[in-house]
């Protein structure tokens, strides 16, 4: 196993073995997600070395594959879960309640029902709430366990406005109300253990001042809370550590981020907690896709591939840049001309493109392209729009490749409809979680 000191701080798409990736497509088909668990371990160890005094939680929403959760648990990470489904995955990966934080936004009733039932079996589970109303809903269900309050510090950062959460009204209780809310919760019997906030996703080095100001506000708040409620166990400043997607971007200086975080937080009688997601898995994954169509358009050459915005939605949703590499061209003995090309998927949407007019080796039908930095928010955001099945996932571990998630079929897409036809109302309730609680239904009538 490679030590963190021997691993680069960022894995570029060019570092992947073209022949190995081509073989995986030959064996498992396309589109295909590939994730290297050794790289996940390296990324964890690098961050843990920069934050030796912090508790580290993995933000499961970045990539919830069971192998990823197990790997990071083995390295020492806890698991931060945004839904009841992610909590269930965490527990199935062997996590104990003490290793799991449930941090939901406007949680549905069935999620809260399931979480409270699970808490009775795992009383050391931590629930993070972002509104006073959620505290009431937990109390209605008999929950009086470990409670963390998500606060809104009024400052956000990140790679796109849609992921800058720190100042968005949707997230958390305004910081100026946090002390009163926590004092009330403690008076009602909740075990108040921490405060939490998250500035945004994909924070870069040039946003370090925003990060420092955000953490300083959390430190000030922790000291105010301790005077009223008592000492907290932890102050969770979220994750959001960015990774370079473009080849000319430098990797995040983790040492500088760690130093700035500790300095800004100041003296507190609580553990610092961080919860990265993207940082662990983004450059550990690639998406492989077959070229099926070459078309000379008016102003560009369109390269049609079998992956699309249903496979990797980030370019369409966030205008996100992902590096693209022609594996077949790299393996070809003849050097190909570099020409501007637009790589587009099969979805009936003009936004279904991975790049526009990007200089790439002249592509031919049958080539295999690799799309880099696809380990975070790739498969997790995949969908079945246009009735397209989701792709397979391959894990690289201990020198071997194995299937971690099979490719869906159209039968998988249509099965819920076929199983519903002719059934009773009871048959149609196929969720693993309980139906919405009577308590919540009564409250909104």
DSSP letters, 386-438, are: GGPPP-EEEEEETTEEEEEEPPP-HHHHHHHHHHHTT--HHHH---SSPPPPH
User: CA-CA distance, 277 to 239, in Å (whole number)?
Assistant: 7
Tokens of residue 190, six digits? 């909740």
CA neighbor of 212 nearest in space, from 154, 263, 254, 282: 263
* 8 A C-beta contact, residue 35 and residue 391: no
Name the phi and psi angles at 90, rounded to 5: -60, -45
Residue 275 known to bind ligand: yes
Residue 76 known to bind ligand: no
Residue 419 known to bind ligand: no
User: CA-CA distance, 42 to 224, in Å (whole number)?
Assistant: 37
List CB contacts of 99: < 8 A, sequence separation 6 or more.
Answer: 73, 78, 79, 90
Query: What's the distance, CA 102 to chain centroid?
Result: 14
Tokens of residue 236, six digits? 């969770």
Question: Looking up tokens 């079996």, which residue turns up?
Answer: 121
State the alpha helices, DSSP H only, in 277-420.
Answer: 278-281, 314-318, 327-331, 410-420
User: CA-CA distance, 198 to 236, in Å (whole number)?
Assistant: 8
Tell me which of 148, 348, 355, 421 is the catalytic residue: 348
Residue 349 known to bind ligand: yes
Beta bridge partners of 195: 149, 235
* 8 A C-beta contact, residue 342 and residue 303: yes
Name the phi and psi angles at 174, rounded to 5: -50, 135
CA neighbor of 276 nearest in space, from 221, 211, 225: 211
Other CB atoms within 10 A of residue 358 CB: 17
Per the annotation, the verdict on 348 as an active-site residue is yes
Residue 415 known to bind ligand: no
For the annotated binding site for substrate, the residues are 278, 314, 318, 349, 377
* Active-site amino acid positions: 348
């Amino acid at each position: 196993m490679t030590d963190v000191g021997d691993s680069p701080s960022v894995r570029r798409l060019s570092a992947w073995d073209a022949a190995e990736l081509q073989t995986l497509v030959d064996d498992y088909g396309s589109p295909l997600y590939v994730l290297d668990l050794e790289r996940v371990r390296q990324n964890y160890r690098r961050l843990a070395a920069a934050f030796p005094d912090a508790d580290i939680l993995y933000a499961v929403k970045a990539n919830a594959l069971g192998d990823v959760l197990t790997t990071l648990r083995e390295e020492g990470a806890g698991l931060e879960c945004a839904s009841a489904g992610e909590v269930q995955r965490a527990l199935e990966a062997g996590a104990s309640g003490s290793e799991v934080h449930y941090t939901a936004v406007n949680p549905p009733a069935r999620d809260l029902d399931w979480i409270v039932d699970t808490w009775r079996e795992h009383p050391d589970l931590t629930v993070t709430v972002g509104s006073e109303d959620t505290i009431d809903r937990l109390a209605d269900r008999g929950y009086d366990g470990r409670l963390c309050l998500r606060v809104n510090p009024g400052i956000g950062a990140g790679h796109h406005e849609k992921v800058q959460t720190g100042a968005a009204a949707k997230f958390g209780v305004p910081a100026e109300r946090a002390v009163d809310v926590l004092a009330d919760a403690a008076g009602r019997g909740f075990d108040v253990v921490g405060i939490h906030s998250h500035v945004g996703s994909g924070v870069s080095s040039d946003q370090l001042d925003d990060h420092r100001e955000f953490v300083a506000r959390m430190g000030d708040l922790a000291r105010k809370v301790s005077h009223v409620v008592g000492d907290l166990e932890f102050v969770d400043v979220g994750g959001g550590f960015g990774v370079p997607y473009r080849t000319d971007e430098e990797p995040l200086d983790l040492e500088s981020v760690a130093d700035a975080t500790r300095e800004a937080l100041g003296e507190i009688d609580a553990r610092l907690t961080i919860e990265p997601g993207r940082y662990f898995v983004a450059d550990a994954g690639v998406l492989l896709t077959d070229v099926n169509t070459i078309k000379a358009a008016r102003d560009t050459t369109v390269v049609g591939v079998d992956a699309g915005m249903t496979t990797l939605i980030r370019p369409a949703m966030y205008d996100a840049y992902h590096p693209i590499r022609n594996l077949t061209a790299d393996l070809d003995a003849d050097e190909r001309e570099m020409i501007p090309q637009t790589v587009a998927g099969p979805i009936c949407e003009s936004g279904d493109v991975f790049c526009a007019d990007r200089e790439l080796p002249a592509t031919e039908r049958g080539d295999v392209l690799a799309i880099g930095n696809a380990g975070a928010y790739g498969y997790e955001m995949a969908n079945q729009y246009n009735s397209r099945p989701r792709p397979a996932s391959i894990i690289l571990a201990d020198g071997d490749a194995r299937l971690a998630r099979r490719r869906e079929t159209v039968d998988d897409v249509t099965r819920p409809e076929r199983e519903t036809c002719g059934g009773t109302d009871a048959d149609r309730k196929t969720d693993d979680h309980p139906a919405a609680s009577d308590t919540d239904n009564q409250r909104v009538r």
